[in-house]
Structure 1
């Protein structure tokens, strides 16, 4: 039986330059020729072959490698220490930030409390100021009616004098001036003064022998009665009042000199202040405790 197997090519006995690929062979031979050319130049220049240099130990390289290793170890250790310090600093910084945040929150709460307190105080201040304004108005009104403040305004100036050659029995007396003053108040007078002595509740018109005293001070004829009020109606309303009619009866019967004059601006002084004696506040007990008190005469 014939052998049908194909014979394997006998490549093992061929030269290397035959079996080597063409591109690899060209590259290798070109590099070998270059190395050979460089080696011939070094030999001509007296330079030892590279193999001799390679056989020497590279102590400088070893030292450099060792130094580099030491430096790497030092840097690593330093980095570890700095990392620990950095971590501590970061923790301390975070703690300070937290503390400052707590302080800021406390300050914000304090500011809010102060703002509320200020608003409450402002509101209370407005209320108190309104009360003070009301009290001031009431005080001014009370001073006006009681005569304890100077006033000015339009009114009537009345001059009253005794009849010439009259005897003692025909002279003007305190009760005569009191009738005129009562009639003027009934006619709408707001403030009255006799010879610059302001008439008020605590003052009075009194006779001492032949002298007339107003607020405890003597006044002499002629008596100038200054009245603040509506000078357009005051004299007419005086004639209509009962006291006014009584006064004009005295004027006609005893012959008093009566001279009225309308004035655009009359200035009256304040009445002299006098202390109150024996007076207890209306809602205070006699022993000074509030509630249930009466006014003593």
Structure 2
């Protein structure tokens, strides 16, 4: 028997049974897909309640936030007319007080002129050589109750350029007082700050963020006008404690401290109330 005949009569090595082939294909194709599908369905059913709870919680939070914003906006809107009315009332009070203050200043100025005229009349009657008149004039200038004219210096001081970021770069009321005291010791005859004449009753104080002179709020730069000998005032000022303080402020903190000489300066009188009568306290 030939080889070909032997192979033809020999059973085949592979089966071609359709049932076997279909079963194998189904096992290979569907087994993993069905398992994964079942697991995915179980997970989806497990996650569905949790997702719903999260969504409900988020909605509740958003609703509460909206209610809070609405209540706040409503409260602000209700309070706005009252706040506006209170602000308008305060502004009106300030304007009225300022107008009253200006009227009183005018009255005081008029009375001061009358007193000056009466003093001149009396002095002319009892002071033949004018010595008393000259003495009264000199005292009035020193006290700040009369205007003053003459040569002097102008001292300009200002905060440091970066005062907001530098500790010590802002001028304080104590700094201005140091400067004024130094000028008096250096021989100043009359002083004014930003046009406000300093008298024996003048106060230099701090009010909130501003410095007040004669109860008037000022802002930097501050211009200090001084009547006196312009040839000696600057040098003598730097020899005083106040002058040395300002040299330190300029060197250490960058505060502006400039001195300029002038041939003629005009300083107004202090129109505020003045001390007209006093008596010594009784001995205890």
TM-score (norm 2): 0.51
Q: Distance in 2 between matches of 1:294 and 1:148?
A: 29
**Which residue number corresponds to residue 227 of structure 1?**
226
What's 1:152 paired with? Answer: 149
Residues 201 and 126 of structure 1, relative CA distance in 2, 3 Å threshold:
closer
- The question of whether the paired residues in 2 share the 8 Å contact of 1:156 and 1:229 is answered with yes
Consecutive unaligned residues of structure 2, counting only runs of 5 or more, are 1-121
Matches of residues 213-224 of structure 1 in structure 2 within 5 Å?
213-224=212-223
Q: Which residue of 2 aligns with 1:140?
A: 137
Asked if 2 retains the 8 angstrom alpha-carbon contact of 1:187 and 1:241, the reply is yes
1:185 Cα deviation after fit: 0.9
Alpha-carbon distance in structure 2 between the residues aligned to 1:127 and 1:139: 12
Instruction: Pick closer, same or farther for the CA change 1:280–1:154 going to 2, 3 Å.
Output: closer
Q: Secondary structure at the match of 1:259?
A: strand
Are the aligned partners of 2:246 and 2:257 in contact in 1 as well (CA < 8 Å)? no
CA distance in 1, matches of 2:269, 2:256: 27
Partner in structure 1 of residue 62 of structure 2: none
Post-superposition CA distance 1:56-94 (Å, at most 9, x none): xxxxxxxxxxxxxxxxxxxxxxxxxxxxxxxxxxxxxxx
After TM superposition, give the deviation of residue 247 of structure 1 in Å: 2.0
Q: Which moved more, 1:196-205 or 1:130-139?
A: 130-139
| 142, 159, 163: which one aligns with 1:166 | 163
Cα distance, 1:188–1:128 mapped onto 2, change above 3 Å: same
Deviates more, 1:217-226 or 1:137-146: 137-146
Task: Write the distance in 2 (CA, Å) between the matches of 1:246 and 1:213.
Answer: 21
Q: Distance in 2 between matches of 1:202 and 1:196?
A: 16
Runs of 4+ in 1 over 3 A off after TM superposition: 125-128, 131-135
Tell me: CA distance 1:151–1:280, structure 2 relative to 1, closer, same or farther (3 Å).
closer
3-state SS in 2 of match to 1:159 = strand
Q: Which has the higher contact order (CA 8 A, sep 6+)?
A: 2
Q: CA RMSD of the aligned region, Å?
A: 2.7
Distance 1:269 1:196 in 2: 7
Distance 1:152 1:126 in 2: 22
Correspondence for 2:197? 198
Question: Is residue 2:278 matched to residue 1:280?
Answer: yes
What residue in structure 1 maps to residue 126 of structure 2?
129
After superposition, give the CA deviation of every residue in 1:113-144 in whole Å (9 maximum; x if it has no partner).
xxxxxxxxxxxx99953279444333212211
In structure 2, the CA distance between the partners of 1:126 and 1:160, relative to structure 1 (3 Å rule), is: closer
Contact residue 204 and residue 214 of structure 2 kept, 8 A: yes
Instruction: Give the deviation of 1:242 after TM superposition.
Output: 2.1
SS in 2 for 1:258: strand
CA distance in 2, matches of 1:224, 1:126: 36
Kept in 2, the 8 Å contact 1:189–1:229? The answer is yes
